[in-house]
């Protein structure tokens, strides 16, 4: 292999790869063809990425995850609220499914197109099994009985301003049509703790246009030298709910689909509300 930055990252984290992580990534690979899969998932890279992720998961965010045993085997769609300005919620959910679920599962998050145009970032995402979020990819992966992670709020969700925290934005309808079409159970996921990692005061459309990014949040803590760029070490509470099964015509009118989406959305919202009520502190 050539000497890319990814390789140096792998070398740097080699010592961090604890034996249990090797074992868990190995067990994901057990039912897959050897080597890099057609979507670019590379177990060799993934185990080092997971070694880093598990540190963030265990010690930085001290994630507390309940309900990984509720995720059914075979094709499944995890539908979660999206928050936190950076997609660390995806990292925590994906890490939990490898570190805590039995057997460990690779969850493929649906990535925004823009992220794949970024050098290194796009490459790392792809090598860790994340794929571009277009219906064709979802359908293909579900037909291969994989687990995918969807954020129907999209960019609107992750870039919520402080006043909108834990209030779900509008859901897209595409995920429901795909679930109906492929007869995939939906597992609702609520992530509590990610909203407070960055305080977003305002989304500047001018700066977003200037830098060519989908959004440009104004985050005061980023002004703190060096450390301000890091997310605040809030405690993550992730709750995976009971699988939901929907039936119907995937090509139904929007209204009909919206009704089903509403069921998922209210389920996640009430899971969020409960999680917020049970939480004693943002950091503990």
User: What is the rounded distance in angstroms from the CA atom of residue 262 to the CA atom of residue 83?
Assistant: 19
Q: Convert residues 56-95 into a mask of x (bound to another protein by CB under 8 A) and - (unbound).
A: ----------------------------------------
Counting contacts by CB under 8 A, is residue 137 touching another protein? yes
Among 27, 39, 215, 222, binds another protein (CB under 8 A): 39
Please, what's the largest Cα pairwise distance for the chain?
54
User: What is the rounded distance in angstroms from the CA atom of residue 257 to the CA atom of residue 283?
Assistant: 38
Of 75-83, 114-122, 197-205, 261-269: span binding another protein (CB under 8 A): 114-122
Counting contacts by CB under 8 A, is residue 117 touching another protein? yes
In this complex, which beta carbon is closest to another protein, that of residue 45 or of residue 186? 45
Beta-sheet pairing, 202-203 with 147-150: unpaired
Contact predicate 63/236, CB 8 Å: yes
The 3-state DSSP class for residue 8 equals helix
User: What is the rounded distance in angstroms from the CA atom of residue 175 to the CA atom of residue 150?
Assistant: 7
> Least CB distance from residue 245 to another protein, whole Å?
26
What are the phi and psi torsion angles at 92 (to 5°)? Answer: -65, -45
Counting contacts by CB under 8 A, is residue 148 touching another protein? no
Among 84, 87, 122, 275, binds another protein (CB under 8 A): 122
Closest CA to 124 of 54, 48, 59, 194: 48
Q: For residue 236, what are its two tokens? A: 């993550």
> Least CB distance from residue 8 to another protein, whole Å?
12
Among 68, 80, 85, 126, binds another protein (CB under 8 A): 126
User: What is the rounded distance in angstroms from the CA atom of residue 198 to the CA atom of residue 215?
Assistant: 14
Counting contacts by CB under 8 A, is residue 34 touching another protein? no
Counting contacts by CB under 8 A, is residue 4 touching another protein? yes
In this complex, which beta carbon is closest to another protein, that of residue 15 or of residue 136? 136
> Least CB distance from residue 133 to another protein, whole Å?
10
User: What is the rounded distance in angstroms from the CA atom of residue 138 to the CA atom of residue 178?
Assistant: 8
Counting contacts by CB under 8 A, is residue 118 touching another protein? yes
| Polymer length in residues for the chain | 284
Among 12, 16, 121, 224, binds another protein (CB under 8 A): 121
CA atoms within 13 A on the CB side of 197: 24
Among 15, 30, 34, 38, binds another protein (CB under 8 A): 38
Closest CA to 233 of 188, 197, 274: 197
In this complex, which beta carbon is closest to another protein, that of residue 119 or of residue 225? 119
- Residues within the interface to another protein (CB under 8 A): 1-2, 4-5, 36, 38-40, 42, 113-114, 116-123, 126, 131-132, 134-137, 140
């Amino acid at each position: 292999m050539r000497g890319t930055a990814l390789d140096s990252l792998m070398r740097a984290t080699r010592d961090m790869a604890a034996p249990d992580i090797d074992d868990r990534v190995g067990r994901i690979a057990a039912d897959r063809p050897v080597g890099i899969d057609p979507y670019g998932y590379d177990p060799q890279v993934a185990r080092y990425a997971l070694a880093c992720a598990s540190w963030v998961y265990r010690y930085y965010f001290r994630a507390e995850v309940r309900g990984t045993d509720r995720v059914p085997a075979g094709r499944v769609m995890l539908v979660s609220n999206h928050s936190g300005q950076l997609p660390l919620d995806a990292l925590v959910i994906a890490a939990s499914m490898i570190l805590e679920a039995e057997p460990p599962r690779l969850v493929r998050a649906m990535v925004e197109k823009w992220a794949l145009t970024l050098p290194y970032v796009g490459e790392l995402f792809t090598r860790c099994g994340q794929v571009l979020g277009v219906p064709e990819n979802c359908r293909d992966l579900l037909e291969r009985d994989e687990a995918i992670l969807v954020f129907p709020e999209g960019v609107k969700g992750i870039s919520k301003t402080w006043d909108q925290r834990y209030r779900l934005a509008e859901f897209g309808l595409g995920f429901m049509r795909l679930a109906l079409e492929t007869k995939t159970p939906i597992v609702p996921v609520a992530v509590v703790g990610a909203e407070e990692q960055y305080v977003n005061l305002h989304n500047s459309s001018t700066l977003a246009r200037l830098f060519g990014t989908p959004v440009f949040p104004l985050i005061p803590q980023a002004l703190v030298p060096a450390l301000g760029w890091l997310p605040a070490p809030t405690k993550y509470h992730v709750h995976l709910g009971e699988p939901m099964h929907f039936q119907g015509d995937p090509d139904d009118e929007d209204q009909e689909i919206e009704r089903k989406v509403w069921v998922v959305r209210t389920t996640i919202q009430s899971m969020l509300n409960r999680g917020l009520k049970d939480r004693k502190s943002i950091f503990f």
